[in-house]
Amino acid sequence: MIYLDYAATTPVRDEVVQTIQEALIESFGNPSSTYRIGKSTKYLLTQARKSLANLLNVSEHDIFFTSGATESNNWAIRSQAELARKLGKGNHIIVSAIEHPSVMETLVFLEQEGFEITYIHPNSDGEVTAAAFVKATKDQTIGWIAMAVNNEVGSILPVFELGELAREKSLWFHVDAVQALGHLDWDYSELACTSFVGSGHKFYAPKGIGFMVYQPWDKQMKLTPLIFGGGQEANKRSGTENVPYVLGMVRALELLAEEKNSILEHHNDLQNYLYDQLNQHQIAFERNGNPKAKVPYIHNIWLKDLMASQLLILMDLAGIYISAGSACSAGSLTDSKILKAYYPETPERWSQSIRLSFGKESTKADIDKFIIQIKKFIERK
């Protein structure tokens, strides 16, 4: 098996599995219980929150554990939008046009609830600019939304610049940081946003665990619960906490923090090798996204005149796993909305592009085998 789809999900590291297994066996108590085994489990949860806060350089009191980024995005956006409108601030939200479906579908819901949404498309250079957000802002604007790294093309958005401008304008600012966490050496205390989210299965932890950081600069903008019940997570997110997975997620981020330099170097090496091989084998291609600002582990490539749907089948039969867009669309393969936003005038690009994404275990030999299959596909045409 050759796995080149780490942006979709990552395998769970052995060290993380061990951490989870130990917690499942030895720390199974309910953190809300008042007796000893419950209190010991609560202590582990508290320590994990502190460790995550140290890794992100944020306050532990601003961290809320969730089931993943989809829940976190829904929660952060709906809470801030609905409360800002209730407080009479307005009903207009500005968002990049290349966001994850969990953000886009939340905004569709809010539009149906009477909110006005403005979508900022990439410019001709593939950039989503802060200037475009500022230009679209008006008196009724209440918040901005921009992801840190696009999950399909790997473009890095100017979230640090956007955050400073949003704070100056007293707008809430939400960041989907899923594809940045564990991959970019960022100090999140320098990211001026009112909320950002992460998902464990994107950095070698299990699926079904994630978090949201909520840190409003307007004291009136108190986080409202999305789930009601027993009052866990500071009465904001009810439901018995998944302590083993929380511990596993934090352990995964700790390990990546220790390895960040070597992993970044590894990804850069693979990136250079990939494009060298495509050029050496004279395969016609163009890179998708913003070439000036992108992560080295996600690569979206337009393979001219090669249908992505057919190429994915060939790769699958050869035991090579890649994708043609987001993996969060119930297994469907349709023209990418992200590529449509980037290249509205080049429809053939939408269906002829594939995504490769590297991880810790990816090798140059994996790329070699990928290239071989592309050449076979070209020869069959």
Domain boundaries, the chain: 2-9+260-380, 14-253
Q: What is the pLDDT of residue 33?
A: 87
The answer to whether 252 and 200 have CB atoms below 8 angstroms apart is yes
* Nearest-10 crossing angle of helices 243-280, 36-56: 30
- Evaluated on CA atoms 63, 66, 69, 74, the torsion sign reads negative
The pLDDT value recorded for residue 327 is: 53
> Of all residues in the chain, what percent carry a pLDDT higher than 90?
91
- Segment 295-323 shows an average pLDDT of 95
Residue 330 confidence (pLDDT): 45
Q: Nearest 5 degrees, angle CA 191-CA 195-CA 197?
A: 95
pLDDT of res. 335: 79
Task: Tell me which H or E stretch contains 45.
Answer: helix 36-56
At 238, the amino acid letter reads: S
Q: What is the pLDDT of residues 8-27, one digit of tens each?
A: 999 999 999 999 999 999 99
Parallel, antiparallel, or unpaired for β 195-199 and 210-214? antiparallel
Residue 284 has pLDDT above 60, yes or no: yes
Domain 2-9+260-380 has CATH 3.30.930.10: no
**Angle between helix 364-380 and 308-317 (nearest 10):** 120
- Encode pLDDT of 150-202 as tens digits: 999 999 999 999 999 999 999 999 999 999 999 999 999 999 999 999 999 99
In this prediction, residue 325 has a pLDDT band, given cuts at 50, 70 and 90, of low
- Catalytic (active site) residue 193: no
- Residue type at 136 in one-letter notation: A
Q: Using CB atoms within 10 A of its CB, is residue 248 exposed (0-12), middle (13-18) or buried (19+)?
A: buried
User: What percent of the chain is predicted at pLDDT more than 70?
Assistant: 97
> Amino acid identity of 337?
K
- State the Cα–Cα distance between residues 151 and 70, nearest whole angstrom: 14
* pLDDT 10s digits, 203-217: 999 999 999 999 999
Task: Name which of 317, 316, 334, 314 is nearest 326 in CA terms.
Answer: 334
Task: Give the integer Cα–Cα distance in Å for 288 and 195.
Answer: 28
Q: Which CATH number fits domain 14-253: 3.40.640.10, 3.20.20.140, 3.20.20.70, 1.10.1060.10?
A: 3.40.640.10
Q: How many helices (H) and strands (E) does the chain have?
A: 12, 12
Residue type at 252 in one-letter notation: A
| 5 three-class SS | strand
Q: Cβ(157)–Cβ(144) under 8 Å?
A: no
Dump pLDDT digits (tens) for 332-351.
567 789 999 999 999 999 99
Asked whether the whole model's pTM tops 0.85, one would answer yes
DSSP 136-166: H--TTEEEEE--SB-TTT-BBP-HHHHHHHH
Q: Which of 328, 334, 347, 375 is the catalytic position?
A: 328
Q: Please report, for residues 87, 169, 219, 290, the alpha-carbon distance to residue 140 in angstroms, rounded to integers and kept in the order given.
A: 12, 12, 20, 30
pLDDT of residue 334: 74
Looking at residue 380, what is its pLDDT?
Answer: 79
Residues contacting residue 88 through CB under 8 Å, at least 6 positions apart: none
| Burial track 84-113 (b if 16+ CB lie within 10 A, e otherwise) | bbeeebbbbbbbbbbbbbbbbebbeebeee
Q: 272 near 296, Cβ under 8 Å? A: no
Give pLDDT tens digits for 360-372: 999 999 999 999 9
Beta-bridged to residue 320, according to DSSP, are 2
How far, in Å, CA of 181 to CA of 249, rounded? Answer: 12
Give the whole-angstrom CA distance, residue 289 versus residue 282: 21
**146 contacts 95 by C-beta, under 8 angstroms:** yes
- Taking CA atoms, 44 is separated from 20, 30, 37, 210, 211, in Å, by 12, 11, 11, 17, 16
Neighbours of 289 (CB within 10 A): 25
Query: Average model confidence (pLDDT) for the chain?
Result: 95
Residue 371 to residue 272: CA distance in whole angstroms: 14
Which range, of 56-65, 237-246, 291-300, 372-381, averages the lowest pLDDT?
372-381
Q: Which tens digits make up the pLDDT trace of 216-260?
A: 999 999 999 989 999 999 999 999 999 999 999 999 999 999 999
Q: Is the pLDDT of residue 381 over 90?
A: no
Q: Which two tokens stand for residue 122?
A: 């990439």
pLDDT recorded at residue 331: 53
